[in-house]
Structure 1
Amino acid sequence: MKLIRLFFLFVLSSVLYAQNTPDYQLNKPLTTENLDRLDSMIKVNAPDAAAYNAVTQVAYTFYRIGKSINAFTWLERYTHLFPEQEKVLLDNLKQYENNALTQYPDSVNRALYESYAIRYAPTEDAYVAFTRYISDDINYGRWQNAINDIKRFAPAFPNKQQHFQDLIEIITRKDEGLRVTNLGDKINTYVSEWDPNPTSEGTQIYFSGNPRAGGLGGDDVWVSSLVDGVWQVPQNLGPKINGERDETIDNISADGNTLLLSGDFMGTFGKFDIYAIDKVGDDWGDLYHYPYPINTEHVDEGGNITADRKALLFSSDRPGGIGEFIPLNTYGNGSIMGNMDIYVCFMTDSGWSNPVNLGKTINTPYAERSPYLHPDGKSLYFSSDGHAGLGGLDVFKSVRLDETWTNWSKPVNLGKEINTILNDWGYKVGITGDSAFFSGFARTNGYGQWDLYSVTLPKDARPNPIVMVSGTITDNKGNNLQADVIWEDLTTGEVLGTTKSNMMSGHYFIALPVGKNYGYYVKKDGYYPTSNSIDLTKSKDGDRRKVDIEIVSISDMKNKSSSITINNIFFDFDSAILKKESTSELLRLVDFVKKNSVEKLKIIGHTDKVGTEEYNKKLSLNRAISVKEYIIKSLPKMNITTIGKGATEPIDSSDDSKNRRVEIIME
């Protein structure tokens, strides 16, 4: 009987509670009218469970439909009413706040970003909210509206005055009518393509893409060729690079011989590492992993090997950068990019050096990614959400000012014709410097999600001119050869870079910034290191030059079947005195003679046809004697004969300058 009475009392109390609990009608739409009704009910009944449920359920609904700023604003309004649940509510509040700053407003909740920016200024999060508030005007080109808001908000952010000034400069910068072109439906599909990497000669483009016909599973790396101005159906790079995992390409070397990739391939130290693969004939070799300290247990990506192959740039979220340690995929500054900085490592005789942070001019406490150093060796292009921009990651250009790699010009935003309110990154500037390739999301002229595009570059964003030298390396019988190509500063003798010719085709490519007098030579075991020069000290514009190089084997030289022209030996006009620029070539000649145990050498001097026959023979003999005297300083017992032939044996009837030369014959 007692149990029956207790049960009756429990049921009665439950009924009375239900009758006294207000109906919040949480299934109704979140209109202004319904939200006002809920607001009144919550304030009257808090901190009871029903009021708490109403607060959290409405906030979660906003969050679930992608309106995190509404969720944050709503939850923040009532958190103080529920002291016993404060910790849980503050955790939820932080989650909504972080997510809100990664989103963009619609016409209804735009004012909430404005309110947030005003309330929390001058914090970094408030500045992000401000950029979200003006994003719609920027996106639709309502520039005066954006400028008015920039001027209105600037006084609230005394620590961001330079950012506000830079924003106004970006917005008011005169448009140049840049042309944006979709690369076409043979490359782009209904899914995504990204990370475009054109070869220096512009005949191919490598990129990453979602699964498509011919893929090997997951995201793969592909290559397309340009034929008659049209990009062709891309080819999968095959199992040496692609597999069941996701593969992504970061860069291709200037000579086209190395692909830089990143991912969690075999041997990865941490979350994401940098890898490379080298060209072997018409195929690719084996994937290799860059060592510590390029790769670490943190995220390391975006590898970019410089054109001279002396340095490797990359981005990393490792501790010790500019600002506090914020790993990738951690909320901050309106993104999950973390604090990524750009570093450089240098190739030394003992391997790669420790990384050098590019410094505060380039790196910020936020994200700098996707570094690309143009083959001019000076112009750095990268993406950042820490410098003043239009929203998300913007693309910037900076110029290296000295050899420290920490002294850079102020990064220049590439402008509103290139950058958008979203993340803009992965831009690769063509070697000619007048255009770039990028991946754009869901554009009106696109075929799917992310598509590949090209765009002309603003004049101020272009790199220094480059002269492109390419050709084929063969032996004196016409066989294609793989050999090292080394270029140097003729004035100082400093080696400036190296590359290799293709083992199948013999093709090589080098990019030379204007402004120097270059020598370059070909080195291969069993052959004489044939050389040539190109004077770019007065050049202002880049161009293309085709130079085929023939190298002669030591066996042919010893059989006296071939003579060698020593191209990089220089004299002043009408003089037999060796110029300083000849030093590197003469040192190679002496080294060659020593290593190959040459006992006798014949040096033959030639001139052009200017002057009398007698005078030219005397001048050519004296020049041959000057070369002999240089060799004798290092090899005093060397048996050397000299001959002066003047202009009697020309080798080029169209260019008399090529007839001024010095030849050697091994005897």
Structure 2
Amino acid sequence: MKKFYTTLLAILIGFSALAQSSQVKKANRLYMQRAYMDASEAYRLVQDKDQEVLQRLGDSYFFTNRMGNAAETYRDLFLKYDDGTIAPEYTFRFAHALRATGQDEDADKYFSQYYNTTIDFEDWSTKLDTAVSHTYTTNQVMQNAASSDFGITFMGDRIVFASTRNQDRPIYAWNRKPYLDLYVADINDEGELSNIELFNDKINTDTHESSAAFSSDGQTMYFDRTNSRRVKVDWAEVPVATIRIYRAELVDGEWTNIEALPFTSDQYSVEHPTLSEDGSTLYFASDMPGSLGSFDIYSVAVNEDGTFGEPVNLGPNVNTAHREQFPYIANDGTLYFTSDGHLGYGNLDVYLSRQENGSFGVAQNLGNSLNSEFDDFAFVLKEGEEKGYLASNRRGSDNLYSFSREEYTPPVLPIEEVEINPETGRRQIANVDNIYFDFDEATIKPESEPTLNRIVEILKNYPTLRLEIGSHADARGSDAYNLELSQARAESTLEYLVAQGIDRNRLVPKGYGEEVPLNDCVRPNMCTELMYAINRRSEFTEISAETPFFQDKPEAAEDDNNN
């Protein structure tokens, strides 16, 4: 009898193992097909979840914006397998899921681990409050939980947007919603939509169409369309359908001559077009070869004969090792785009990069009056007005939001709030951020000017105060060259302040070369561009005790020039 029960137990264990293996295979098949809703249900039923199951279950939740479930699953993963075998991308996603669910302290821990530098979200967000240029008031355009809506663009007096509301389309396995179509609608001054109707049936098909852009004369249209056939690509385990940008022309009131742009491909995606005001430059997102990360922002020249130049990557001030998508180029040349690679409030945030002399400056987050802990993307301005639209899934699914904005004057922060620089032991200003430099450059960038103007204000309010300008370089280049470069950065910072009326005798420029990094990027070719960029900086430190920061402003103080 004992032998019988032993045999029966072995059979039951065998059946259980077979069932477990079958369930994992089913879940893996759904996951590789990017059917993440179905995959999550299948993985959830697996009894003994190993490392791969936990990773893929967490991703299935993450990719479908179920951040509470994602955070819980990733936490199980890191508690069970935090032995050096978990790939860095799971640290990155776990940190974002934690941020989305309000677990900021844990999010800082895992972001710090991922970027190999200290991330302090509270400190970062406080400093950002003194640097944003506008405050935003947002309102959801439509209460439509059944569909996903995003990507408004202006077409004359009407707007065009993408939506999953067409129930006649096939179902997209990723999110179990219909494939995207483009819609056209009227819009009033309050941002409300009416007369919503499908866009031209030559544009919409049974695959995804989204992200339209129009020339200023309304005669040319660019838009996204997902390829109807799947192909094998190097980075995917199963065949995938990539995205192309198409161009269409309006002829006798009909959209025609619809063709894919020549630099698109079956092997990578090209998406989210936006056109400069004069129509000479098209901006887009792509994961084409040469990208810094998942998706980067590119520009390409549009020639007068309708041909195109070669796509140009906008570089590390804009692009990171992660996703940069949904560019919008304003008439003043400012680029707005979405990223989850720059430090932000959570998942995708909207950033801007100002253009000067043909290059784009360091990305700036638009602040928490616009961005949330979830995905915020597809920003567009109504030119000539301080209004516009964006999309966000902050309430569960992708929805359209209108916004109005006002110019923002940063508050005058209390001067007594200082921090001790651990390298020098001297008091440093926590209310004024460092300023940063491009690689191998000592030129003051436009985005540094608000910080420097704040320094000017402080120095004018405290006329006996003297500052050291401590400037630094990243680890690329020789020690001697980096020392020279950092000194040049200190000098250029000084000259800016002097040009604003500050006595140069109150400023001491000091270059430190690469000797005082803010992270562990102490050798070339070991860090991301963003991590190197953090070290290319000027800092401001008190070197006079005559008027300490913690004292009140003097009632009557003589100017240095009169002492």
TM-score, L = length of structure 2: 0.55
Amino acid aligned to 2:186: S
Gaps of 5+ in 2: 29-37, 171-177, 232-240, 410-563
Amino acid aligned to 2:377: W
In structure 2, the residue corresponding to 1:419 is in which secondary structure? coil
Asked if the contact 1:170/1:413 (under 8 Å) is kept, the reply is no
| Counterparts in 2 of 1:458 and 1:94: CA distance versus 1, 3 Å | same
In structure 2, the residue corresponding to 1:427 is in which secondary structure? strand
User: How many residues are matched?
Assistant: 375
Asked if the contact 2:152/2:162 (under 8 Å) is kept, the reply is yes
Taking the aligned partners of 2:80 and 2:19, their CA distance within structure 1 comes to: 23
Taking the aligned partners of 1:400 and 1:315, their CA distance within structure 2 comes to: 18
Aligned pair partner of 2:389 in 410, 422, 437: 437
* Number of the residue aligned with 1:277: 248
Q: Whose Rg is larger?
A: 1
* Number of the residue aligned with 1:205: 159
1:224 corresponds to 2:185: yes
Asked if the contact 1:240/1:287 (under 8 Å) is kept, the reply is no
1:307 corresponds to 2:269: no
Q: CA deviation at 1:341?
A: 1.6
Percent identity, aligned pairs only, is: 18
Asked if the contact 2:95/2:111 (under 8 Å) is kept, the reply is no
Amino acid aligned to 1:355: P
* Number of the residue aligned with 1:606: none
| Counterparts in 2 of 1:218 and 1:127: CA distance versus 1, 3 Å | closer
Asked if the contact 1:399/1:409 (under 8 Å) is kept, the reply is yes
1:321 corresponds to 2:291: yes
For residues 152-178 of structure 1, what are the alpha-carbon distances to aligned partners after superposition, in whole Å with 9 as ceiling and x for unaligned?
5576456244xx256742367549873
Taking the aligned partners of 1:231 and 1:155, their CA distance within structure 2 comes to: 43
In structure 2, the residue corresponding to 1:372 is in which secondary structure? strand
1:418 corresponds to 2:370: yes
Taking the aligned partners of 2:42 and 2:366, their CA distance within structure 1 comes to: 31
Amino acid aligned to 1:210: T
1:159 corresponds to 2:116: yes
1:452 corresponds to 2:400: yes
Asked if the contact 1:114/1:129 (under 8 Å) is kept, the reply is no
For residues 637-658 of structure 1, what are the alpha-carbon distances to aligned partners after superposition, in whole Å with 9 as ceiling and x for unaligned?
xxxxxxxxxxxxxxxxxxxxxx
Asked if the contact 2:246/2:260 (under 8 Å) is kept, the reply is yes
Q: CA deviation at 1:431?
A: 1.1
Q: CA deviation at 1:354?
A: 1.0
Q: CA deviation at 1:396?
A: 1.3
Amino acid aligned to 2:116: N
For residues 418-454 of structure 1, what are the alpha-carbon distances to aligned partners after superposition, in whole Å with 9 as ceiling and x for unaligned?
223333222212213623212334739xxxx543220
Q: Within 5 Å, give how 1:341-380 maps onto structure 2.
A: 341-348=296-303, 351-377=307-333, 379-380=334-335
1:130 corresponds to 2:88: no
Q: Within 5 Å, give how 1:150-299 maps onto structure 2.
A: 156-157=113-114, 159-161=116-118, 164-165=119-120, 168-170=123-125, 173-174=128-129, 178-184=136-142, 190-199=146-155, 203-212=157-166, 219-227=180-188, 229=190, 230-264=192-226, 271-280=242-251, 283-294=253-264, 297-299=267-269
| Counterparts in 2 of 1:359 and 1:275: CA distance versus 1, 3 Å | same
Q: CA deviation at 1:205?
A: 1.2
Asked if the contact 1:341/1:364 (under 8 Å) is kept, the reply is yes
Gaps of 5+ in 1: 1-11, 24-47, 77-89, 139-145, 324-338, 462-667
Taking the aligned partners of 1:247 and 1:428, their CA distance within structure 2 comes to: 18
Asked if the contact 1:62/1:70 (under 8 Å) is kept, the reply is no
Q: CA deviation at 1:398?
A: 0.9
Taking the aligned partners of 1:312 and 1:14, their CA distance within structure 2 comes to: 76
Give the root-mean-square deviation of aligned CA atoms.
Answer: 4.6
Asked if the contact 1:101/1:125 (under 8 Å) is kept, the reply is no
- Which moved further from structure 2: 340-349 or 310-319? 340-349
| Counterparts in 2 of 1:75 and 1:316: CA distance versus 1, 3 Å | same
Taking the aligned partners of 1:390 and 1:172, their CA distance within structure 2 comes to: 13
| Counterparts in 2 of 1:101 and 1:274: CA distance versus 1, 3 Å | closer
| Counterparts in 2 of 1:65 and 1:302: CA distance versus 1, 3 Å | closer
Taking the aligned partners of 2:20 and 2:54, their CA distance within structure 1 comes to: 12
Return the structure number with greater relative CO, CA threshold 8 A, min gap 6: 2
In structure 2, the residue corresponding to 1:456 is in which secondary structure? strand
| Counterparts in 2 of 1:62 and 1:273: CA distance versus 1, 3 Å | closer
